[in-house]
């Protein structure tokens, strides 16, 4: 292994507790769809230690809480030194946000920049009525 791979941190080091939530003031009155996009997301390839770049899209319908955006920014910044495969990364983000926000529905989409001519997008979804 190269030195860069040895220095990468593991996904288990990501702390969901960084996320803060606030009350959704229209709970029980109406549903809204919230779309958040982080176009400058970075993490590391767990095989090479090289940076991966992506646009992370978060779409959700809140129940009682919404995510506070500054805390979301700091949460996503934790991934900069984490070696993680795309599929695992998107599922971790979904699990952490569902744990903290408890939305009615949520979808996380990671659109990763091409590497070696291959474009990859990964989507994971949660639906409160199914779980």
Dump pLDDT digits (tens) for 40-93.
Answer: 999 999 999 999 999 999 999 999 999 999 999 999 999 999 999 999 999 999
**Residue 69 CB neighbour total at 10 angstroms:** 11
Contact between 97 and 67 under an 8 Å Cβ cutoff? The reply is yes
Q: Which is nearest to 88 in space by CA: 55, 58, 45?
A: 45
Select which of 31, 52, 63, 95 is catalytic: 52
What are the extents of the domains in the chain? 19-127
Q: What's the CATH code, domain 19-127? A: 3.30.1130.10
Select which of 23, 27, 31, 45 is catalytic: 45
Q: Is 45 an annotated catalytic residue?
A: yes
Residue 129: band (very low, low, confident or very high) from pLDDT cuts 50, 70, 90: confident
- Residue 102 Rama label (left phi>0; alpha psi -120 to 50; beta): left
Read off the DSSP letter of residue 104.
S
Percent of the chain with pLDDT over 70: 94
Contact between 5 and 49 under an 8 Å Cβ cutoff? The reply is yes
How confident is the prediction for the chain on average, in pLDDT?
A: 93
Q: Is 52 an annotated catalytic residue?
A: yes
- Determine the Cα–Cα distance for residues 97 and 106; give it in Å rounded to an integer: 9
């Amino acid at each position: 292994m190269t030195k860069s791979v040895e220095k990468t941190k593991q996904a288990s080091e990501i702390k969901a507790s960084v996320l803060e939530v606030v009350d959704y003031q229209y709970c029980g009155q109406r549903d809204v769809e919230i779309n958040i996009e982080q176009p400058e997301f970075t993490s590391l390839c767990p095989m090479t230690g090289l940076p991966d770049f992506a646009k992370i899209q978060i779409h959700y319908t809140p129940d009682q809480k919404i995510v506070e955006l500054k805390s979301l920014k700091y949460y996503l910044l934790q991934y900069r030194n984490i070696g993680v495969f795309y599929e695992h990364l998107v599922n971790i983000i979904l699990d952490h946000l569902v744990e903290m926000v408890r939305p009615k529905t949520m979808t996380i989409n990671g659109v990763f920049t091409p590497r070696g001519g291959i474009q990859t997008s990964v989507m994971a979804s949660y639906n409160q009525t199914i779980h």
